[in-house]
Structure 1
Amino acid sequence: MPTRSSTDEVAVLTGSYTPDSGGDGAGIAALRLAPGTGHLAHDTGVPPVPVSGASFLAAHPRLDVVYSTNETDPGTVSALVRHDDGQLSPLGGPLSSGGANPCHLTVHPEGGWLLTANYGSDTAPGSVAVHRLDADGRPVELTDIAVHEGSGPVAGRQENSHAHQVLVDPAGRYVLATDLGADAVFTYRLDTRTGTLERTAVNRLRPGSGPRHLAFAPGGELVFSADELSSTVTCHRYDTGTGTLTGLSSVPATAVPDITNQPGGIVASPCGRFVWVTNRGADTVAAFRVTGTTLEPIDEMSAGGTWPRGLTYADDHLLVANQHSGTFVALRVLDDGALRQAGPAMSVPSVVCALVL
């Protein structure tokens, strides 16, 4: 993606659930963020693109190509070219994700492979799929599907494995996949010649915790998990040599009492001093200070809507996607890690994620 100056407006794409995927959103919409004020505005020059079930977006590391999950059963993934004027157009048609309800995806740093987490369903297990990308960034071949096994103690949520995120560690050595249903993080090596995954470890986390997403601290020696089912945030030691996690400490994700809460998105600050998490139920964004290997709550404020799912860092702001209220909000990050709302909420129906370009 092209670079920009510090005074340029920041281009942001949002992903939403569409009517065929249980929402009322448009798919992918374009917004602009003013870095000085945090003011958000729709990019009126870029019409929304009707991508089905656009629950997560990712960018190619070198090409002007954006990828989207199509969270349906069976699932697919889509690629779009971003032109110089910001317009988006499909790059080929959707391809099978190799599973049900794909909910997260990322491009391997080498640029040749797309990795997708399939949440699965009541009957289909969670899995991680690999697609080969051609020289233009187009997904052209499904090269591997790694199926997860396991379950957990939470009735109605953990009868089966449910992959929820796939990411590459900061060193580019291992592929990690969280599994909410199996209370685990699966570690793989990706063979970049063949596009196949070799499982090297299964990191068993606290029973009933339901790990949803991970966020690495700078340097990669600590990684933080948003634990959806236990409503906690956990600090783990990450072994860069083996791709394994060791749990060190956990804190409640919210201080709001007597409420059923499910953490959603999680972000670690570029400086490594802070972690933020969205809380669906409490409808807040909570801030934590990293002190050694522990997390200290320092702030918690309204998410600016209901059911905040996605959380994205952008130029000293956090962008919050409030799914149920259909509102998209920018929160300013203060020097001490605390948060303040930067401007009015934008209406983006069924919004669940954002991608900063």
Structure 2
Amino acid sequence: MSGSSQTGRAYIGSFTAAGGPGVVTAAVDPADGALTLLHTTDALPDPSYLALDGGFLYAVSETTAGAVAAFRTDAVSTTLAAPAAPVDGAGPTHLTVWGNHILTANYGSGSVSTVPLRADGTPDPALRDVLHHTGSGPHPQRQQSPHAHQIVVDPSRGWAVSVDLGTDSVRVCALVDGHLTPHHETALRPGSGPRHLAFHPGGEYAYVLNELAPTLTVCRWDAAGGILKPLTEVPVLPGAPRGDAYPSEVVVAPDGRFLWTATRGEDVVSVFALDPTGEQPTLRATVPCGGHWPRDLALHPGGRFLYAANERSGDVTWFTVDAETGEPVRGGSLRVPAASCVVFGPPA
């Protein structure tokens, strides 16, 4: 694991409705991963999740109306590049860029949206497509209807994969002429409430983090066929939680040796060792997240530093990852009220 000698940039999302500053730009110290505040903008309401692509920072607006926007970035600041584009979905919680389209997962309406990008890289507000999920689960409050929570593109760049907490399933779609086309749906254990997934760098396995049960479902991924197959389900905590645990995020080391999850109800980061194939995660330790309610975990591209966006304590904590054990060692924190997401840009 190695880091850059140049100062990088971190971009942090937050909930403006809960007192957050909006999109935060911070410098990343290459020596210890420390964050230094550079700039904030509240030009977009509730920019809870971010993605960098093609020189733009893209953000969802996690509101009832639901929108997506592009920001231009420079060495210090972040500015809205164009008015936000509607996604025709409520409460978008996640987005990804696939070619010349933005895909959003809309938790409130249980759908995924496709928004094309114009030639200048900004979302086109006039053209969009929505794929509605169907189904439900056994949880009486959380699973009465679909709740798409995440959408990502698989490592082969051939499929869009959406995780739905409300239907206990993961859907695989193709993108055909700007429309997401359903290809395969993988059912997970009823009541598990899948929230997010991450792929192993080898591309043959995926790890689904379940919010309603504090577990991780290991799946085999067939990129040629576009099929996700559940193999095993393992706990993310060493014992029974004190109450509802609310796991939030899963990240995998770029060398495939370790995996980390965040659990909001316990305020911990769990450390897993992965076997050489990636099929067998083993829980090694849990460490405090450095705050309260870690909504997001993010690994710096170099693999040396791990960051927890602690929504309710209003800070982002950084850790140095022990290269031998994978255990995060706390370094410090940056005050960001209602923090929700961290992504990294190239060195300035």
Q: Which moved more, 1:169-178 or 1:258-267?
A: 258-267
Which residue of structure 1 lines up, in the alignment, with residue 322 of structure 2?
Answer: 334
* Aligned residue in 2 for 1:38: 33
Q: Deviations over 1:44-71 (max 9, x none)?
A: xx343442111100112x2x21111100
SS class of match (1:116): strand
User: What residue in structure 1 maps to residue 298 of structure 2?
Assistant: 312
Alignment check: 8 A CA contact 1:37 1:342 kept: no
CA contact (8 A) 2:206 2:218 kept: yes
Residue 154 of structure 1: aligned partner: 139
Map of 1:66 onto structure 2: 57
Shift of 1:17: 0.4
Aligned-residue offset at 1:92: 1.4
Which amino acid letter does the alignment assign opposite residue 10 of structure 1? Answer: G
Q: Is the 8 A contact 1:26 1:51 kept in 2?
A: no
Match of 1:18 among 5, 16, 19: 16
Is the Cα–Cα contact under 8 Å of residues 115 and 127 in structure 2 kept in the other structure?
yes
Which residue of structure 2 lines up, in the alignment, with residue 223 of structure 1? Answer: 206
- CA separation of 1:245/1:136 partners in 2, compared to 1, >3 Å: closer, same or farther? same
Letter in 1 for 2:4: S
Larger RCO: 1 or 2 (CA < 8 Å, sep 6+): 2
Residues 1:166 and 1:348: Cα distance change in structure 2 (over 3 Å): same
- 1:335 is displaced (CA, Å) by 1.5
Say which SS state the counterpart of residue 127 (structure 2) adopts. strand
Report the alpha carbon displacement of residue 35 of structure 1 after superposing the two structures with TM: 2.2
CA distance in 2, matches of 1:215, 1:337: 20
Q: CA separation in 2, counterparts of 1:327 and 1:254?
A: 23
Name the stretch that deviates more: 300-309 or 137-146.
137-146
Q: What displacement does 1:89 show? A: 1.7
Aligned to 2:187: 204
Structure 1 match to 2:334: 346
- Whether the 8 Å CA contact 2:26–2:36 is kept in 1: the answer is yes
| 1:220 Cα offset (Å) | 1.1
Equivalent pair of 1:299/1:338 in contact (CA under 8 Å): no
Letter in 1 for 2:226: G
Asked if the contact 2:320–2:328 (Cα under 8 Å) also holds between the matched residues in 1, the reply is: yes
Distance 1:47 1:346 in 2: 13
Measured in 1, the distance between the counterparts of 2:337 and 2:7 equals 23
Gaps (5+ residues) in structure 2? none
Separation of aligned partners in 2, 1:302 and 1:50 = 33
C-alpha deviation, 1:295, in angstroms: 1.4
Q: Which residue of 1 aligns with 2:280?
A: 294
Within the candidate set 220, 224, 229, 1:246 is matched to: 229
Counterparts of 2:14 and 2:241, CA distance in 1: 30
CA contact (8 A) 2:87 2:128 kept: no
> Residue 271 of structure 1 corresponds to which residue in structure 2?
255
User: Shift of residue 143 of structure 1?
Assistant: 2.9
Counterpart Cα distance in 2 of 1:332 and 1:299: 15
336-345 or 257-266: which moved more? 336-345
The RMSD of aligned alpha carbons is 1.4
- Specify the code of the residue in structure 2 equivalent to 1:18: T
2: CA distance, partners of 1:195 / 1:234: 31
Out of 169, 173, 189, the residue aligned to residue 188 of structure 1 is: 173
- SS for the counterpart of 1:238 is strand
Q: 3-state DSSP class of the match of 1:139?
A: coil
1:320 aligned partner, one-letter code: A
AA partner of residue 31 (structure 1): A
2:136 match: secondary structure: coil
Determine the structure 1 residue equivalent to 2:127: 142
Structure 1 match to 2:104? 116
Cα deviation, 1:191-224, whole Å, max 9, x if unaligned, reads: 2xx2111101111111111110010001210000
Alpha-carbon deviation of 1:256?
A: 5.0
Give the structure-2-normalised TM-score.
0.93
CA shift in 2, pair 1:337/1:118, >3 Å: farther
Partners of 2:266 and 2:318 in 1: how far apart?
A: 18
Q: Which residue of 72, 92, 97 corresponds with 2:82?
A: 92
Measured at CA, do residues 258 and 219 of structure 1 come closer, stay the same or move farther in structure 2, by a change above 3 Å? closer
Q: Where does the alignment leave 5 or more consecutive residues of structure 1 unmatched? A: none
**Residue identity in the other structure for 2:64:** D
Maintained 8 Å contact 2:290/2:330: no
Q: Equivalent residue of 2:209, what SS?
A: strand
Letter in 1 for 2:101: W
